[in-house]
Structure 1
Amino acid sequence: MMALCLASGSPRRRELLTALGYSFTAITTAIAEVPAAGESALDYVNRLAREKSEAAIAQQKPGDWILGSDTLIALDDKILEKPNDVEHFCWMMQQLSGRKHWVHTALALTEVSAAHDVAAQQQRCVTTEVSFKRLTDAEIMHYWHTGEPQGKAGGYAIQGFAERFVTRLNGSYSGVIGLPLYETEQLLRSVGFLPNWERVDEC
């Protein structure tokens, strides 16, 4: 029987996939997150999701499926990564202040072959437009001291304190968190995975 593995160390992705009702194991894969020269934001995020998924192949059984995902924030032609330090964070918040940006979350679902290679693979990418209000320096520094920005793409977590900065969102809220629920479920169903609640007897 095929099994599902989530190739992600993100607690948020694990919570979202659990909320969908799927049984899965989760592992963390080590991938170098560095854009190639001239690589667009969409190409970069899709490549990272694919590489995370494929990096877990050796640890799974033939016939199993691995779900990899990555999220990044793009502002105009700039990719906003996770903050390196408070100065980098402040710069990103100043860039986002009073403007709209795009959150790209890519999915890569990979089937493990008998030779422990890629037997099949499907990808999706969901883009959400997010607008921030104009931020004061005091708001930016207060947000940094909450501890939320560390380790977050673009330096913020929409499901936390930063939701108060959002004036408009067009797209997938769960995609901004890190795993677009609708697209993830459709992808899993397309290869035969059903949520646990569909396996129980009707009342």
Structure 2
Amino acid sequence: MPRLILASNSPRRRQLLADLGLPYEVRLKDVDESYPAHLKGAEVAEFLAAHKASAYRDELVPGDVLLTADTIVCLDEYILNKPTDEEDAVRMLLQLQGRAHDVFTGVCLLTGEGKRVVFSDQTRVYFRTLSETDIRYYVQHYRPLDKAGAYGAQDWIGLVAVTRLEGSYFNVMGLPVHRVYTELEKLGFGVVNQ
């Protein structure tokens, strides 16, 4: 029986994968998330997803499919990583408010047989203008310090600030499930294959 392994601590990715109806197990490792400075946007997300997968390569056996992912937020050409503290989160959200930005999620599927599929998805997110009071409320009550760009679209700020999306909402949450499912089906992982 093939085994799907999710290498992510993200509760959102876990829930999205569970919602697909596919059984999976979770494996976690600390992996360096630095990337070459010349990479931009989707290239960064894909590089990080593939880099994470390489840390598990020697643990996979035939029949395994490992899924790794990385989500980044880009405002113009500038990448907004996870904030370092609450003030950094406030600073990021002040930059995003009233503007559009892009969310890229890179995904790597690596099989125990050595096959590797790397891809990314892009979603354009439009934020309405927010007051600093609203932003500070969100940061203090929802503590988005583990999220790229200092926000979660599924949180309070998504309800009050996101006015429009061009692309997949689930991509903004951290996993472009439509594309993940299609690629998993090609590898023999789909609900009809269970």
Q: TM-score range by the shorter chain?
A: over 0.9
Taking the aligned partners of 1:67 and 1:199, their CA distance within structure 2 comes to 18
User: Which 10-residue stretch deviates more, 37-46 or 10-19?
Assistant: 37-46
Aligned mates of 1:43, 1:29 — CA distance in 2: 22
TM-score after normalising by structure 1: 0.90
The question of 1:183 aligning with 2:191 is answered no
Distance across 1 between alignment mates of 2:21 and 2:141: 31
CA distance in structure 2 between the partners assigned to 1:137 and 1:45 by the alignment: 29
Tell me how far 1:18 sits from its aligned partner: 0.5
Whichever residue aligns with residue 16 of structure 2, its letter is L
CA contact (8 A) 1:31 1:48 kept: no
Aligned to 2:20: 20
Runs of at least 5 residues in structure 1 that lack an aligned partner in the other structure = 114-118
Deviation at 1:150, TM superposition (A): 1.5
Give the direction of change, closer, same or farther, for the CA distance of 1:199–1:45 in structure 2 (3 Å limit): closer
Q: Give 3-state SS (helix, strand or coil) of 2:115's partner.
A: strand
Residues 64-91 of structure 1: CA deviation (Å, up to 9, x unaligned)? 1111111010010100000101221111
1:133 Cα offset (Å): 0.5
Structure 1 position 199, deviation (Å):
6.0
The equivalences for 1:39-78 within 5 A come to 39-78=39-78
CA contact (8 A) 2:35 2:47 kept: no
User: 1:25 and 1:35 mapped to 2: Cα distance?
Assistant: 27
The residue number in structure 1 matching 2:188 is 192
CA distance in 1, matches of 2:35, 2:87: 21
Find the residue that maps to 1:146 and give its secondary structure. helix
2:188 partner amino acid: G
Structure 2 gap segments, 5+ residues each: none
2:161 to 159, 165, 175: 165
**CA displacement 1:129-186 (0-9 Å, x = unmatched):** 0010111110011011113412011000101111111011110001100111211110
Query: Partner of 2:142: helix, strand, or coil?
Result: coil
Is residue 148–residue 160 contact of structure 1 (8 Å, CA) maintained in 2?
no
CA root-mean-square deviation: 1.4
Question: How far apart, in 2, do the equivalents of 1:125 and 1:176 lie?
Answer: 12
* Cα distance in structure 2, aligned partners of 1:150 and 1:99: 21
- After alignment, is 135-144 or 25-34 more displaced? 25-34
* Separation (CA, whole Å) in 2 of partners of 1:35 and 1:77: 15
Bigger Rg over Cα = 1
Aligned residues: 193
Provide the C-alpha distance between the structure 2 equivalents of 1:176 and 1:148, rounded to a whole number of angstroms: 17
Match of 1:95 in 2: 95
Is 1:11 the counterpart of 2:7? The answer is no
Equivalent-residue separation in structure 2 for 1:126 and 1:157 (angstroms): 17
Q: Report the Cα distance in structure 2 between the residues aligned to 1:145 and 1:88, rounded to whole angstroms.
A: 12
Identical columns (%): 36
Correspondence for 1:154 among 144, 149, 153: 149
- 1:144 is the counterpart of 2:139: yes
